[in-house]
Amino acid sequence: MSLRESVVIVTGAGSGIGRGTAKLLASEGAKIVIAEINQVGGIATLEEIISGGGTAKFIHTNVADEQSVHRMMEEAIASYGSVYGLVNNAGIELEAELSSMTVADWERILSVNLRSVFLCSRAAIPHMRRNGRGSIVNIASVHANFGFEGYSAYDASKGGIVALTRTIALENGPYQIRSNVICPGYIDTALWDSWLARQPEPEKIERETRQWHPLRRRGTPLDIAQAVKFLLSDAAEWITGISLVVDGGMSARFFGS
């Protein structure tokens, strides 16, 4: 199936990777649902897609909230009639050591990053089953594969996404619904900017992080969007349950070396 005319929901499409993905998929002819909590960012993405000749709809959504996700799906179906693709991209991070982390902070990260994947997938799958096809692409992180001091909640949420993706693939393969996960490395977005700003020597870290990558640059939202497009498309029709690392080769390096 080509992406042309297919309906794809992109969560957190008001910024960064989500915006880059929504714009690329729209340029391929997909009808995009921008499911985003930030009205200003969501509408900015909508305007960019429409001014580029694409089709999109912004639906104000809190992906961590069951009722909000339910309403988003109802509105998406009412507008476009079906859903083929779901990109679970919305995410937040928190730098806090486990020993001093509050339960509220733990639950906030797990809710926005992991419960959202459960809620949005659960809402989309019945429609995909009815259509006899569908593709879910979840955005985790290299944090799913490595430990990072100070990121226990974020790391746990991203590892959880990888595990959840596999089980969604098993349960829904017989209905021709695929489920895959992308683990991005460092991507230049607002999330990266806020991390960099918290570092003691941002300019030095900025230079060093480029060197961490064999390809000598950090990623762009488009680098991830291209991988999402591939996994959504028919070119990946026999690929399900996988975790695809897209990180400029960073994970190939042993950091002790």
Ligand X SMILES: NC(=O)c1ccc[n+]([C@@H]2O[C@H](COP(=O)([O-])OP(=O)(O)OC[C@H]3O[C@@H](n4cnc5c(N)ncnc54)[C@H](O)[C@@H]3O)[C@@H](O)[C@H]2O)c1
Number of residues that bind ligand X (CB under 6 A): 29
Buried b / exposed e over 207-239, threshold 16 CB at 10 Å, is: eebeebbeeeebbebebbbebbbebbbeebeee
Best CA proximity match to 244, nearest among 133, 160, 149, 165: 165
Residue 30 CB neighbour total at 10 angstroms: 25
Q: Does 11 bind ligand X (CB under 6 A)?
A: yes
Q: Can residue 85 be called a binding residue for ligand X (CB under 6 A)?
A: no
Q: Where are the beta strands (DSSP E) in 12-73?
A: 31-36, 55-60
**C-alpha dihedral over 56, 59, 61, 67, to 10 degrees?**
-120
Q: Which is nearer to ligand X, 38 or 226 (CB)?
A: 38
Min. distance of Cβ 116 from ligand X in angstroms? 7
Interface positions, 29-48, toward ligand X (CB under 6 A): 36-38, 41
Q: Does 153 bind ligand X (CB under 6 A)?
A: no
Q: Say whether residue 134 binds ligand X (CB under 6 A).
A: no
Give dist(CA 122, CA 55) in Å, integer.
Answer: 25
| Site for ligand X contains 7 (CB under 6 A) | no
Instruction: Report if residue 191 touches ligand X, rule: CB under 6 A.
Output: yes
- Closer residue to ligand X, CB minimum distance, 89 or 133: 89
Whether 186 is a known active-site residue: answer no
Residues lying near ligand X in the complex (CB under 6 A) are found at: 11-12, 14-18, 36-38, 41, 61-64, 89-92, 112, 139, 141, 184, 186-187, 189-192
**Residues involved in catalysis:** 154
